[in-house]
Structure 1
Amino acid sequence: MSEPTPVAELGYPEALAELESILDRLEHDEPDVDRVATDVTRAAELVQHCRGRISAARVKVEEVVGGLTPEAADPEADGS
C-alpha cells in the first residue's frame, strides 16, 4: 500500500472525498483493528485541513465582499 498524499497537499475536494471514504469504511466494513487508529488519525487531520480551507475561504470572501461597498452609499462620495 502506498503512502497517502500529505494532507497539506490536498485540495478541499480531495480531502473531503478521502474523509468520506474513511467514514464509509468505518461505518460499513468490518473494522480492521490494525487500521482503525490510523484511519481515525487521518480523518482528524483531514477534518482539521478542511476546516482550515473553509476558514480561509470565508476570510477571502469577506474581504472581497467588504470591497464591494457601492460609492453611492458613501455620503462623502458625492462631494457634499
Structure 2
Amino acid sequence: MSEPADIAEMSFEQALAELEQIVARLESGQAPLEDSIAMYRRGSALKAHCEAKLNAARLQVEKITRNLDGSVGVEPAEFG
C-alpha cells in the first residue's frame, strides 16, 4: 500500500510535526470517532514515512565492512 502523494512529498520534519499534532488531538479525546479513525490512518502513514526517511538517512551515513577475522561490521561512511 503506497502512501498518499502529499505525504510522499513531505520532509521528515514536516511529517513529524503533523504526526505530533495528530497525536495531541487523539490524546485529547475530543475528536468524533470517525475523525479519530481517519487521523489514526493518516498518522500511521506519517509514521511509516518518517521511518523510511530515517532509514534512508542511516543507510547514507553507514557502510558495511568485513573485518580481518571475517566478521561484519558497520562504520560511518566517508564523504569528500
TM more than 0.5: yes
Tell me, what secondary structure is at the counterpart of 1:6?
helix
Measure, in 2, the Cα distance between the counterparts of 1:42 and 1:22: 8
Q: CA RMSD in A?
A: 2.2
Q: Give, in angstroms, the shift of residue 5 of structure 1.
A: 6.9
Larger strand share, 1 or 2: 2
Q: Give, in angstroms, the shift of residue 29 of structure 1.
A: 4.3
Measure, in 2, the Cα distance between the counterparts of 1:5 and 1:55: 20
Instruction: Give the corresponding residue for 2:27.
Output: 27
1:66 aligns with 2:64: no
Query: Among the aligned pairs, what percent are the same residue?
Result: 34
Q: How does 1:6-21 map to 2 (within 5 A)?
A: 6-21=6-21
Asked if 1 retains the 8 angstrom alpha-carbon contact of 2:19 and 2:47, the reply is yes
The C-alpha deviation readout for 1:22-52, integer Å capped at 9, x for no partner, is 0000101412112111101000000000000
1:46 aligns with 2:46: yes
Q: Which runs of 4+ in 1 moved over 3 A?
A: none
- CA 1:18–1:58 in structure 2 vs 1: closer, same or farther (change >3 Å)? same
Larger helix share, 1 or 2: 1
Instruction: Give the corresponding residue for 1:55.
Output: 55
Tell me, what secondary structure is at the counterpart of 2:62?
helix
Paired residues, number? 65
Higher relative contact order (CA 8 A, sep 6+): 1
